[in-house]
Structure 1
């Protein structure tokens, strides 16, 4: 077989020990992505020859090479296939840093050099970018391996064997290249690869587990929403505005003029803003109130109107620019709190949800970040003493005792504690605070920031300067950062890393995780095991986060419910 100007002989494994670094790939049956497929072929490459391993010998191969370094392109897929095929438990190898995924390495390297995680990536793209090789992904071959499920390797056509062999060679060469490039950046943790790998495996299990969905109730829910939308449409029509008609933007502008709401901000095109954050200050106006309600109802339908069946399987992406995850089909991480949509997701019969979230986790990771840099932190001291940070800052801001702080004062402090750490300027913070129903003048916002620095003096130093890139505590690098991204990434990324460690450790402990929302993990457990599982889950989540946040107290809160309700 010819590949990249070299000749390779495809061999069948005869029990020999391979070199210490081995690329592994599997070809499988083709079916639903929510089910782990059956193994058809297993191929490996150690830098010498591509080797096929008979299915009856796969377990022996894995045992012989368990202390070797294994390389994959999509490890979460292949490892699940191997676990199903031969019962191989790979947890120890993950924990010992013995498994690498070149797709994750590529994402982390792209983030470290370009400042973003690529929207699309694949082994074929990596191979083309680094080596100028077009790696065939012919569906006529890729999706037809299942026809050879019970055949001997010697009987599989040459073009299919070469397809698998080229993939495993490409995986090996991609690792060698990426490992060299990442080492040159100076990261001792391969840019946090192990955490992302563990997170990707756990999130793949979450995807396959899915979460129960009350499809019958969703039909009734949607019908009620559509009825409310029709009522809103009728009201809006009396003002001369309708959704989806030609010139709708001009009609909106005219209504704003007629209603004497011309203080609304203008867009770059000169139209009146239709953003919720701008319109909500005019909610006393009937048109605006109805318009916002209509847009909100319309948005709420997008999350569930295409869902079918009694179990849905949101897809998770393990790494975005900040280090956080993302979700799609549906975006479970962005479900509206209002309107009852969350209540449509339910535990299966005889089970319930344990919904556990970290308490103000990004303040804890912020405190760890500044403590690492400067050796001290008032924020860390307050958290570790059990203080309510929002009450503490409110007491400083309004010059009252913490016991005397009232709800609106704490809300104002909350806006500051969550807004200022990311480097928000005064004008931006004024807009940000409106999301907490706090209206501020420029002078009031300026005073809040000054007082915030007095309450947490370490933050003034933290928010000074800009270098255009930033490292996280776990060794991940983000290049080409803006000022706000440079300040946000260390503590947002730390919280995300800790949550991924928790997902991994819960997976190893046998929990059925059915949902993940940044700082919140949802597990489905039998009703007769709730109390024990709740304590176990909380301990695992706290201990996992403390791995990346060792000097700041971590707390969690749990809710037990047969419906998703947080």
Structure 2
């Protein structure tokens, strides 16, 4: 790796430093008003006081800024920052983790300057987001391990430069966390080792930006076999509107994620404490009810939790299997019974002990993940929000406010614990069937498969779920009952993502509380495809994964026969060999369609053939492949390496998709982009968002300001923002006013 070399010099009353990072040598000079501006673009990084971890609502104080434009660099003091920003107001700013640097800069400049205008205009670039988008486009995921997307990690990967983060100054203290002691001090008061640390990050950010840009361009210019490819002109227009790979949209999302965390959401601690205590008592009740219970002919004691509980649960599942071999049960790669929530819930009707265990675990999660932490807040929860899941959506954690659990019987609702500030209400606005609206645009405008769905959602008199139910039941839409509509809803939303009959049947029960037979599910699928004939073409899969794997790994009949000690066979890769490999990766005891178990020689050949792909898999899956530990996750991981590439209407690429992901991404990703644009418009207009949940925005509004005109303004902005990404398709935003996040605390909208 390249080494960092520094030469120091103090002259003419200004600090000067010469910094070499890798092959680049840059002179840094203290910037002062009137100096020659950087143009047209430069990298910028800030050093600050340490972040106050107890006060996530606080932005740390700016201590020093560092700018670099290739062969020129500058140190920007807090005193000079206002003039520096004004001088470079129309330039392009390149940052790593831009939301942080923007917030720090905005805090110092206060109301005199709006730094987010540069984001609005597409003049801020974030190398962290570019790297994530590039990985999504080339490796199929935006997730990273360890410090993969840190500046140091990316500098090592793309520049071959080492940027150690743990650097001790002359006083022996860590330079990275020690800038706070130089707050409001001149640049000359900052020691050379601290300036070295700051300068090299700016140089690395500049060079990283220029290393990423051609790779990002190549995604579009060198694309091949892309599902949903709209053509060069449409992609060029999308990149102009939303940034390369939707960078500009995702930067807005990243800024909003920081804003949501800082604002937080109010907590009714009295309700949370009552809920915590009630959950504690209910956990104790279930524990007492299950303790001492036995199972099997030998009256084996059932151990609910703690030492021995894993073995006890496996023994119970063995006993259940012996009694009810007909029930579907999953095994793990180690051949143990699967004991996750989904696996146990599917068996709970047949075994009361499992039903009790499922209830016990739900209560523990409700207590430990939500009610107890909320009870300990100081009246406001500051969850973490993150941009760019693989679908393009944002996510939330600690706690996950986007996926709040339903309240258990007799216990307070978690949603009811989340409340606005005194004198305020929640204005919750969600998009009606937005994914179907986006899918209509995708089918009509992107894939050119037909406009039936777009016509249905554009008709304000049509409720697609009722139309499907009415078609199946031979009723008028007015005669369709709510439960019948719910049964169709599961199919309406689930089928476009590639869900089959079994998955749809399960979703109808779990998400909508509707029991459907296999025949009823099929009838709803058929009705859907009759109403939207282009849906069938959308769900046709033209990719032969087995053939792709066989070609990638040169799985030929000749090699296969040789592994079995036989001679002859063609030397051309064949799909059936790739299909056999997928079974080996997925199943502990793979067998042919006629029931013949794979021989040890066949399995050894296939495991050895796939071994070279280990280096392309995430760490845990790579370890499983090398250890020959089959699982569905391993099979899916390998399939992704030869999977589909897809692109959204907004121009974001995702590679190596499984079939379902390739379909879901097209409509979920664009719906996410539309929501981000809507949330951004509301935030910029001065509204106070506290939560975004896939198709819903929650604003905190002063009750005295809540008027019909305000509600109309909010819904209008949301509809217009989604309309920008799917023009020509009707989008409706539906508002509700609540005293908490719980719908039971809703009240009527203002009429004046």
TM-score surpassing 0.5? yes
CA distance in 2, matches of 1:253, 1:5: 59
CA distance in 1, matches of 2:250, 2:501: 35
Is 1:348 aligned with 2:421?
yes
Match of 2:533 in 1: 457
Deviations 1:220-256 (A, max 9, x none): 2111111111111122224233322334244345556
Task: Please tell me the root mean square deviation across aligned C-alpha atoms, in Å.
Answer: 2.2
Match of 1:380 in 2: 454
Is 1:135 aligned with 2:172?
no
CA distance in 1, matches of 2:153, 2:63: 25
Matches within 5 A, 1:36-75: 36-75=59-98
Following superposition, the deviation at residue 432 of structure 1 comes to: 3.0
Following superposition, the deviation at residue 385 of structure 1 comes to: 0.9
Q: Is the CA contact (8 Å cut-off) linking 1:233 and 1:242 kept in structure 2?
A: no
CA distance in 2, matches of 1:13, 1:275: 59
Match of 1:315 in 2: 384
Following superposition, the deviation at residue 286 of structure 1 comes to: 4.7
Deviations 1:94-115 (A, max 9, x none): 2221111110111100000000
CA distance in 2, matches of 1:406, 1:484: 31
Matches within 5 A, 1:523-542: 523-531=699-707, 532-542=709-719
Q: Which runs of 5+ in 2 are unaligned?
A: 1-18, 168-173, 221-234, 295-301, 544-643, 744-752
Following superposition, the deviation at residue 390 of structure 1 comes to: 0.2
Residue 27 of structure 1 aligns to a residue whose secondary structure is strand
CA distance in 2, matches of 1:54, 1:245: 57
Match of 1:243 in 2: 304
Following superposition, the deviation at residue 215 of structure 1 comes to: 2.4
Following superposition, the deviation at residue 443 of structure 1 comes to: 4.3
Larger radius of gyration: 2
> CA separation of 1:258/1:101 partners in 2, compared to 1, >3 Å: closer, same or farther?
closer
Following superposition, the deviation at residue 170 of structure 1 comes to: 0.9
Q: Is the CA contact (8 Å cut-off) linking 2:314 and 2:337 kept in structure 1?
A: yes
> CA separation of 1:258/1:137 partners in 2, compared to 1, >3 Å: closer, same or farther?
closer
Is 1:8 aligned with 2:26?
yes
CA distance in 2, matches of 1:489, 1:263: 36
> CA separation of 1:461/1:53 partners in 2, compared to 1, >3 Å: closer, same or farther?
same
CA distance in 1, matches of 2:728, 2:192: 57
Deviations 1:409-453 (A, max 9, x none): 212211111111001233333333332344444444334323321
Q: TM-score, normalising length from structure 2?
A: 0.72
CA distance in 2, matches of 1:221, 1:195: 39
Match of 2:365 in 1: 299
Is 1:563 aligned with 2:740?
yes
Match of 2:480 in 1: 405
Q: How many pairs are equivalent?
A: 566
Q: Is the CA contact (8 Å cut-off) linking 1:355 and 1:559 kept in structure 2?
A: yes
Match of 1:367 in 2: 440
Q: Is the CA contact (8 Å cut-off) linking 2:159 and 2:211 kept in structure 1?
A: no
Match of 1:205 in 2: 259
Match of 1:265 in 2: 328
CA distance in 2, matches of 1:549, 1:374: 14
Q: Is the CA contact (8 Å cut-off) linking 1:266 and 1:273 kept in structure 2?
A: no
CA distance in 1, matches of 2:58, 2:107: 11
CA distance in 2, matches of 1:429, 1:345: 32
Identify which range, 324-333 or 425-434, moves more after superposition. Answer: 425-434
Is 1:110 aligned with 2:144?
no
CA distance in 1, matches of 2:513, 2:741: 26
Match of 2:497 in 1: 422
Match of 1:485 in 2: 661
Following superposition, the deviation at residue 354 of structure 1 comes to: 1.0
Match of 1:229 in 2: 283
CA distance in 2, matches of 1:341, 1:330: 11
Q: Is the CA contact (8 Å cut-off) linking 1:264 and 1:278 kept in structure 2?
A: no
Residue 80 of structure 2 aligns to a residue whose secondary structure is helix
CA distance in 1, matches of 2:186, 2:389: 42
Identify which range, 245-254 or 125-134, moves more after superposition. Answer: 245-254
Q: Which runs of 5+ in 1 are unaligned?
A: none
Residue 706 of structure 2 aligns to a residue whose secondary structure is helix
> CA separation of 1:263/1:274 partners in 2, compared to 1, >3 Å: closer, same or farther?
farther
Aligned pair partner of 2:211 in 166, 177, 202: 177
Residue 44 of structure 2 aligns to a residue whose secondary structure is strand
Match of 2:610 in 1: none
Residue 93 of structure 1 aligns to a residue whose secondary structure is helix
Q: Is the CA contact (8 Å cut-off) linking 1:211 and 1:313 kept in structure 2?
A: yes
CA distance in 2, matches of 1:161, 1:250: 58
Q: Is the CA contact (8 Å cut-off) linking 1:303 and 1:335 kept in structure 2?
A: no
> CA separation of 1:13/1:323 partners in 2, compared to 1, >3 Å: closer, same or farther?
same
Following superposition, the deviation at residue 124 of structure 1 comes to: 1.1
Deviations 1:391-421 (A, max 9, x none): 0111122222111112232122111111110
Residue 134 of structure 1 aligns to a residue whose secondary structure is coil
Aligned pair partner of 1:333 in 388, 402, 405: 402
Q: Is the CA contact (8 Å cut-off) linking 1:466 and 1:483 kept in structure 2?
A: no
Q: Is the CA contact (8 Å cut-off) linking 1:28 and 1:39 kept in structure 2?
A: yes
CA distance in 2, matches of 1:463, 1:374: 14
Match of 2:345 in 1: 279
Q: Is the CA contact (8 Å cut-off) linking 2:26 and 2:70 kept in structure 1?
A: no
Following superposition, the deviation at residue 349 of structure 1 comes to: 1.2
Following superposition, the deviation at residue 142 of structure 1 comes to: 1.2
Following superposition, the deviation at residue 262 of structure 1 comes to: 5.3
Following superposition, the deviation at residue 7 of structure 1 comes to: 3.0
Deviations 1:529-552 (A, max 9, x none): 112432222122111111112121
Deviations 1:176-226 (A, max 9, x none): 111111111126421000100111112211110011112233222111111
Larger RCO (CA within 8 A; separation ≥ 6): 1
Identify which range, 7-16 or 438-447, moves more after superposition. Answer: 438-447
